[in-house]
Amino acid sequence: MTENREQGPDASAPQGPRADQHPVPAYAGAAAPGAPQAGARAHWGPPPSPAPYGAGPTGPGGPPTLVEPRPRRPRPMTGIVAAALIAGLVGGGAGFGGAYALLGDGSRPSTTLTSSAAAPAANADPGTVAGAAAVATPSTVDIRVPLAQGTAEGSGIVLTADGAVLTNNHVVAGATGPISVTLADGTAYEATVVGSSPSYDLAVLRLQGASGLTPATLGSSADLQVGQQVVAIGSPQGLTGTVTTGIVSAFDRTVAVQGEDGSAVVYNGLQTDAPINQGNSGGPLVDLQGRVVGVNSAIATGSSESTGSIGLGFAIPVDQAQRVAQEILDTGAATKPVLGVQGNPAAGDGGGAQIGAVEPGSAAAQAGLAAGDVVTKVDDARVEDFADLVARIGARTPGEQVTLTVTAGGAERTVEVTLGSAPDQAASTTGGGRSPNTPFGQSPFGGN
């Protein structure tokens, strides 16, 4: 997936990648030099190795395939990139950075996000693309973020009338100055980061002095059906208020993207063929009633030189995004569920996620999981490799009980596990990372 960030001397005009530009500023398909390559901690909190999970070559020889359709088999290589537009980047350094600390005076009004029926669209038939656009466009914003080199541009979703806005973490990570947010009517505000969730690639902003905004109506991603029509709204290539349409293509796609600093983000994504391009990151994917069902985040591209949509877009399901956003609004930080095992995302033949080690006292240990066990399902969702396990667990909530289907020695059993919880402080290695040659388990990922 390519990050919807592009840079050039003129930050106001989108420009295509030049030979002297890093083709994938933040969510490169191949691992960045010096990035971790080996194992990963098998609970959700610590993301897996940023090494590719597909069958393609890595490094300068070609971008790997990071999203694996089912069944797994060789196919043309694509790169997965985030969808934020960066203007002015020369030679890399876009900076998919770490989590932000809470900004402001620490006082937070009580805010509760709710799902409800969408209001009828004015001058547009409800249940149509035009009706959905009329409902959702006033709640979609353009976000510009100054970076060390250039400006990042993405999209966002208005959550509250007093200026809480949801976007992707990769849109605002690495900000070096005031963030500018522009409403659909052209009104501009400065914004600060309330909190971020690196593991889910989400962040919440607060517009300074805002009131009377139009909050988006949040729907339910659990109620979606494959083939259902959806609409994406955002600022692709800086063209604010752009509306595109398509369908829900698939659920439970394991989406893995990597920043230049080696941080990895793995989530359980919603796939759509609605055209999503650089600049759509953080914007809404809505149903025909104008209800938000996903947060547009990443796209697959045909090659490292091509960064446009090829009909493979990925969004963070709104049910997951709403939980994370609510926690950030309430406390300034988010949590993530923890299983408590370690494994190697680069290993496996599609037959499940093999556990390499179980952390003492973890949820997995309490449930009786052991090294050598192979997890093939989380509830009814198939698990083909360790990246799948990370994504499936991450789609759950801390404290939730899940049923794992496990095989060991040819025998299959089911195990009930109550997931633990950890602060979502980073989606990267700790302690300066690890050597690509370090065996997994000796220097586990994560910060908890």
436-443 own/partner pairs: CB under 8 Å, 24+ apart: 436/36, 436/37, 436/38, 437/38, 438/38, 439/38, 439/39, 440/38, 440/39, 440/40, 440/49, 440/342, 440/343, 440/344, 440/356, 440/357, 441/39, 441/342, 441/356, 441/357
* Residues near 156 by beta carbon (within 8 Å), at least 6 away in sequence: 140, 141, 142, 143, 165, 166, 167, 171, 181, 205, 282, 283
* Rounded Cα gap, residues 203 and 180, in angstroms: 15
**Concatenated DSSP letters of 359-370:** -TTSHHHHTT--
Neighbouring residues of 51: CB distance < 8 A, sequence distance ≥ 6: 31, 36, 37, 38, 58, 345, 346
Q: Are 157 and 284 in contact (CB under 8 A)?
A: yes
Candidate list 155, 199, 201, 273, residue with the active-site label = 201
Among residues 22, 155, 170, 443, which one is catalytic? 170
**26 Cβ neighbours under 8 A, 6+ residues apart:** 3, 5, 81, 82, 84, 86, 94, 95, 96, 170, 173, 257, 259, 260
Who's near 68: CB < 8 A, 6+ residues apart? 53, 54, 254, 384, 385
Question: Whole-angstrom Cα distance, residue 290 to residue 135?
Answer: 5
Known catalytic residue at 116 = no
Structure tokens at 313: 């877009």
Per the listing, tokens 């059993």 go with: 413
User: Catalytic residue at 170?
Assistant: yes
Q: What share of the chain is helix, strand, coil (3-state, %, to 5)?
A: 10, 30, 55
Known active-site residue 22: no
- How far apart, in whole angstroms, are the C-alpha atoms of residue 253 and residue 387? 10
CA distances (Å), 345 to each of 39, 218, 296, 384, in order? 6, 33, 25, 10
CA atoms within 13 A on the CB side of 308: 4
Assess contact for 384 and 408: CB atoms under 8 A. Answer: no
- Which helix or strand (DSSP H or E) is residue 246 part of? strand 242-258
Catalytic residue among 196, 249, 281, 428: 281
Active centre residues (catalytic): 170, 201, 281
